[in-house]
Amino acid sequence: MGGGAGTVTTTTLAQRLGANRFEIDEEESHIVVDQELCRTTGTGKAIIAVCPAGVYREQDNEILVDRAACLECGTCLAVAAPGALTWHYPRGGFGVSYREG
Ligand code: SF4
- Residue 94 near residue 23, CB atoms below 8 Å: yes
Coil, strand, or helix at residue 84? coil
The pTM is what? 0.82
45-89 confidence digits (pLDDT tens): 999 999 999 999 999 999 999 999 999 999 999 999 999 999 999
CA of residue 76 to ligand 1 center, whole Å: 5
Phi, psi dihedral angles at 97 (to 5 degrees):
-120, 120
Q: Which domains does the chain have, with CATH numbers?
A: 29-90 (3.30.70.20)
Task: Output the ligand 1 site: residues, CB below 6 A.
Answer: 50-53, 55, 70-76
pLDDT tens column, 1-57: 445 567 888 888 788 878 888 888 899 899 999 999 999 999 999 999 999 999 999
What's the 69 CA to ligand 1 centre distance in angstroms?
A: 8
Residue 101 scores a pLDDT above 70: no
Q: β-pairing, 21-23 with 95-97?
A: antiparallel
Query: Whole-angstrom distance between the N-terminal and C-terminal Cα of the chain?
Result: 10
